[in-house]
Every structure is written in C-alpha cells, then in structure tokens.
Structure 1
C-alpha cells in the first residue's frame, strides 16, 4: 500500500495531489491519504464518487484524517 502524506496542504491541494498519485497506481491498488485539512472529510468521498475509485476506510484521530482508497 502506498501512502500520500498531505498534512499541511490546504484545499484543494490534498485532492490535486491525490489525483496525481492515483494515476501512478494500478487498478486494485490501495492508497492511504493522510491529511489535516478538515475540508478533505467531504472532498475525498466526493472525489471518489466522481472518479469511480472506492473509499474503503476513513478515520480521524487528533485532527488527522486517514483515508484508504482503492483504484478502480
């Protein structure tokens, strides 16, 4: 599993970086995105829905969001 650490980036940069990184992955691979921009809580699920990628897991701990996304 690849990890993309987007902490310190503000909207829309976590999504921009996520889109770039997902292009590098093969179908079925999973990416973990770590972000501290609370906007990502809504942006990431919306991006997954729009692009057809699967949001497997989302968690929040101490102001840090973690997403696991499977490339379709």
Structure 2
C-alpha cells in the first residue's frame, strides 16, 4: 500500500539535528492532519524521528528503509 502525503522534504545528506529541524519547519507550514514525507540518510534519524513524534505530538505514521535511505511519514497534529 502506498502512503499518500501532502508535502515532501528531502533531508538526504544532512546530519543531526538538521533533518529534525527542517521537518519541524515544514510541519509548521502545514495544516492539521496533513502528511509530510521525509527522506533522510542519517542513521540516527530513526531514533530522532521517534523521539520528535513523542515530544511534539505529531504522529509518526510509518518509517522504512530502502537502499540506505530512511523514509518517514509524519502527520501534523
């Protein structure tokens, strides 16, 4: 099943904390209930996105890894 999203953020090549900071900024520009797809290559981002979701109340709908790239779907609270 393909996850639908409203906006995409390419954070590939960025290291902590930039993927999270850019995600926070992108979510701030979105409406409640919209979904942001984030692409990242930093292996620490898996742990960071889980913590970010808990701290902010935004939902981490899905996370996966393909070819050393991490894909996150965040739903704006």
Q: Does TM, normalized by the shorter one, top 0.5?
A: yes
**What is the TM-score when the length of structure 1 is the normalising length?**
0.98
1:23-63 Cα distance to aligned partner (Å, 9 max, x none) = 00000000000000001010001101100000100000110
What 5-or-longer segments of structure 1 have no aligned partner? none
Question: What residue in structure 2 maps to residue 28 of structure 1?
Answer: 33
Q: CA RMSD in A?
A: 0.5
Residue-pair matches, total = 72
Aligned pairs for 1:5-20 within 5 A: 5-20=10-25
What 5-or-longer segments of structure 2 have no aligned partner? 1-5
